Structure 1
Amino acid sequence: MSEHPDSALVRRGYDAFNKGDMATLRTLLTADCIHHIPGSSRLSGHYKGQDNILEMYGERMELAGGSLRVELHGAYPDGRGHVMAVHKYYAERGDRGIEMPGGLWFTIVGGKITDIDECVQDIDETDAFWGPAG
């Protein structure tokens, strides 16, 4: 059975993210894509546009001292332009570590990602790990 093209797109995004390949990530996002992050940490909020999203990804990597990695467990398309991706992420920050299941809900139009909604198992733990909003 072949992989649905929307799932393959999301898988390419996860691979590029884990490699720190922002150039490839840029090609997968529409210019006005929005990434929504829950909670009240320094990273929480709505990031609109490729530049803002990629800058936030860079900040995440920097805060984690390069330790951030995400294991994709599955990418499930609905055949109508959405993919639910389930993963576990790992990171270290100072003397603290985090291992958290979560997921991303992608909206895809014309073979590009237009919207990303992020979900985590424990918003309070995630907020504590990334630190308070500035």
Structure 2
Amino acid sequence: MNNIDITKTYIKAVQTGDQATLGSLISPDVVWHQPGSNQFSGTHRGMAAVGAMLGKMMEASRGTFAITRADPYMANGDWVAVTLEFAGQANGVELKQPGVDLIRIEGGQIVEVRLFSSDQDQEDLFWGQ
């Protein structure tokens, strides 16, 4: 699989909750940069930390947080950028906005993720402190 195919498989696994595929695609040593000033913001290192954060995100949104659109995918060397839309409900806030995920792939696995939100203030309210 090329890097765009790996990223598409990753996004689909996120959308369907396919934990086995996520576990095979994300490096145990992944570095995840979560933007903003909310309870999940910061740099998370290792799949154990990232998995725990993602689980808490699903708890906070009562399972409503989802990637609702992902297209186009663009590659530059080890990096893939994908424009997406994400949505959900949490803390009395309805979230629906575009963003960009930058995903770095080495040896067929995702080793680094950088996320960008179009309205970080709204996302911070959504996730809360």
Which of residues 81, 89, 92 in structure 1 aligns to 2:89? 92
Cα RMSD after superposing both structures: 1.3
How far did residue 90 of structure 1 move? Answer: 0.6
Counterpart Cα distance in 2 of 1:18 and 1:121? 20
Q: Deviations over 1:3-23 (max 9, x none)?
A: x71011111111111112222
Counterpart Cα distance in 1 of 2:110 and 2:91? 33
Unmatched segments (≥5 aa) in structure 1: none
Instruction: Give 2:70's aligned residue.
Output: 72
Secondary structure of 2:39 counterpart: coil
Q: TM-score, normalised by structure 1?
A: 0.90
Q: Which runs of 4+ in 1 moved over 2 A?
A: none
How far did residue 94 of structure 1 move? Answer: 4.6
2:51 maps to a residue whose letter is L
The alignment-based identity, stated in percent, is: 26
Secondary structure of 1:51 counterpart: helix
Counterpart Cα distance in 2 of 1:130 and 1:24? 26
Instruction: Give 1:13's aligned residue.
Output: 10
Which of residues 22, 29, 33 in structure 2 aligns to 1:25? 22
Counterpart Cα distance in 1 of 2:4 and 2:60? 29
